[in-house]
Structure 1
Amino acid sequence: MLPNINSLEIETPRDRALTSHPILGIIGCGNIGGRQAANFLAHGYQVYVYDINPERMAEAQHLGAHITNSCAELAACCEIIFTALPTPSDVITAVLEGTQNLRQGLRAGSIYVDMTTNSPETVLRVYEAMNQLGVEMLDAPFNDCPVGAHSHKGMGLAVLASGPISTFERVKPILQLMADQVLYCGEIGCGTRCKLIHNAVNAVAVQAVSEGITLGLAQGIALSTIWDVLRFGSFGQSAGDIHGLPYYWFSRRCDDPSQHPAFTVKLLHKDLQLALAMARQYNVPVPHISLTEEDYEQAQQRGWSDYATTKVRCLQEERANAIAKADLPITPYLTPQQPQPNQAQLGDPPKQKLRFSLYTLLVLVLVSNLFQMGLHWLLWG
């Protein structure tokens, strides 16, 4: 039997203003919600949890969280409430339509943050409901840390938050505990849209990698060799040229062939044609490579042969009627083989040398004393 939270004496949002350590609530104690509950507890926050799976709540309770009987009950206990749920329909149920839903327990002055990878339509619907209650809201989907990626804080890569900027600033110190980066994406719903764009781009890249690997295997190239080629080449060091975009594309350097690009449209088009020829020879379907080759063919027909390969992206700009132009800083990319040294690491070698020197001195003193004792015994008996 779960405890009756209503019987506890709890200071609710109605009783006091938001403090530096507000009481937090998490609905959904799965992969993301469960880890963040533990994270918040480790930072000294009071945390209340609710999940339809009692075992997940029990795990959080073991770490120090308070368990509740419903979303409504949790809302009455907390100042900032997070949802981390699988689907948009789960959010609608938990927040608006389910039995003892979140809306029934929320009070004016609370803050609601949805971490779900949601639909923009659902986010806007919930946002309107929160406005009617006088509750502030952010959508802040979470960019987790998959295998192969590294989170400096050990929690996640980024939080993509959007909503009223005043609400974001109030919650930002807590969001900063959750991931390496906290990105403010704009008005409500933009964080969700950005997360969907990120996932879509990632999915296309995964398929492109799949095409390249199967094309190599069909020709008898060892999988370990293909793996090394991809991870040690320019793609592996900067997937999709993402870190070079401010220099080549957003600055519009790609529009000026006099900049003497290192790699031109005609050269990459040639490479794509050769790759397609291999695919046809070995009967390997490569639809993404085929579509990309068509873009480069069109770029050639436009007279862009001697432009930087980045120029091809202008075709998509025309289709979307949107130009990517901005003065963004060029951020160097540090690979796992080139970790950025921190102050502690920089200070380790001198400490180790000092420690070694002290040990050496002690050993020398000990040996000297033993030698003197032995000599004294031999001479004087």
Structure 2
Amino acid sequence: MVSTESTSKTEFHPNYPTIGIIGCGNIGGKQAANFIDHGYSVYVYDLDQDSMAQLQSLGARITQSCAELATCSDIIFTALPTPDDVITAVLEGEQNLSQGLQSGSVYVDISTNSPETILRIHHAMEKLGIEMLDAPFNDCSEGIKSQQGMGLAILVGGSKGTFERVESILQLMADQVLYCGEISSGTRCKLIHNAVNAIAVQAVSEGITLGLASGIDLQTIWDVLRLGSFGQNPGDIHGLPHYWFSRRCDDLSQHPEFTVQLLHKDLRLALELASQHDISVPHLSLTIKDYEEAERRQWSDYATTKVRCLQEERAGVIAQDSPQL
């Protein structure tokens, strides 16, 4: 059995809430060390004794179960790989978190979970009188740097009052803390983010392989993608408020700079290039179908953003707002 005593000389602030972290991997371990650096007393639990011992050397206090950790902590975080892991740690495992939670404590799951699991756990927490947030963590991928060196964003779901209660602590964990709405909203936003990111990665892959197959060297196609409008305005994400969310895309009098007809022409030419080199480009092929439909609807002279209205029809929603840039 590993000793629960801290071996660090770190001085903990007596008025700070005590932090508990279940899961001492890449995210949980980094955040445990981060909280210790900021003067918080931190208790940790992980199945990997070595991970806990490493954090103990920094000043963490290790525990022997999730239940024990709960009895020592005011604010508890879980940072675990899968929804099943979270359920085991919080509700179903031997000496699980729910068996040790104290009145007035707050539970925050920073795992990338499922909305169904979050709602199930939240229901259980309500019965226990425990406040809960789902706050999946958006870490830094290769090639991206966090301003604080910790992470890019935390996407938070739960009651606004609970969020405000722990907001100052969440702000230590990432560059941005985004309150997304009711419980499970943070999780849903994280899943949407990751889906969009995955699709964009595949689109970039299609472009690079098409470039290589048509005789363009890798450095050149990389420079084209990163220095052109795509790289400077990734996926048009920053241009959305101007045309789509403001609905300027519905108004021909706004004189769009780049029209459906022109981009459709470019996409056809790119598809022809892929065909010439026998390169499969499934994402491009699907995108062209939307532009073909837009032309059939006589949207040729509208802004390219107008094509996104087809997805609005399929989903039965309208994107109309003025998000902060």
TM-score, reference length from structure 1: 0.82
Q: Are the equivalent residues in 1 in contact too, given 2:20–2:73 (CA < 8 A)? A: yes
Matched residues in 2 for 1:118 and 1:154: separation?
A: 24
Which amino acid is the alignment partner of residue 30 of structure 1?
G
Matched residues in 2 for 1:194 and 1:217: separation?
A: 35
Partner of 1:155: 150
From 286, 294, 316, the equivalent of 2:311 is 316
1:68-120 CA distance string (max 9 Å, x none): 00000000000000000000000010000111100111122110000000000
Give the deviation of 1:4 after TM superposition.
6.0
Q: Are the equivalent residues in 2 in contact too, given 1:161–1:185 (CA < 8 A)? A: yes
Q: Which runs of 4+ in 1 moved over 4 A?
A: none
Partner of 1:201: 196
| Residues 127-166 of structure 1: pairs in structure 2 closer than 5 A | 127-166=122-161
Matched residues in 1 for 2:155 and 2:4: separation?
A: 35
SS at match of 2:57: helix
Which amino acid is the alignment partner of residue 143 of structure 1?
N
Is the counterpart of residue 103 in structure 1 residue 129 in structure 2?
Answer: no
Unpaired segments ≥5 residues, structure 2: 6-13
Partner of 1:78: 73
Which amino acid is the alignment partner of residue 278 of structure 1?
L
Partner of 2:8: none
Matched residues in 2 for 1:188 and 1:37: separation?
A: 24
Is the counterpart of residue 242 in structure 1 residue 237 in structure 2?
Answer: yes
1:224-276 CA distance string (max 9 Å, x none): 00000000011111111111111111000100011111100000000000000
Partner of 2:2: 2
1:11-43 CA distance string (max 9 Å, x none): xxxxxxxx9510000000000000000110000
Partner of 1:349: none
| Residues 35-184 of structure 1: pairs in structure 2 closer than 5 A | 35-184=30-179
1:115-173 CA distance string (max 9 Å, x none): 00000000000001111111100000000011111211110000000101100000100
| Residues 180-191 of structure 1: pairs in structure 2 closer than 5 A | 180-191=175-186
Matched residues in 1 for 2:322 and 2:227: separation?
A: 29
Matched residues in 2 for 1:88 and 1:20: separation?
A: 33
Partner of 1:306: 301
SS at match of 2:279: coil
Matched residues in 1 for 2:312 and 2:143: separation?
A: 32
TM-score, reference length from structure 2: 0.96
SS at match of 2:120: helix
Which amino acid is the alignment partner of residue 88 of structure 1?
P
Q: Are the equivalent residues in 2 in contact too, given 1:28–1:49 (CA < 8 A)? A: yes
Unpaired segments ≥5 residues, structure 1: 6-18, 332-381
Give the deviation of 1:315 after TM superposition.
0.2
Aligned alpha-carbon RMSD (Å):
1.0
What count of residue pairs does the alignment treat as equivalent?
317
Q: Are the equivalent residues in 1 in contact too, given 2:20–2:42 (CA < 8 A)? A: yes
| Residues 339-350 of structure 1: pairs in structure 2 closer than 5 A | none
Is the counterpart of residue 224 in structure 1 residue 207 in structure 2?
Answer: no
Matched residues in 1 for 2:16 and 2:307: separation?
A: 50
Give the deviation of 1:328 after TM superposition.
2.5
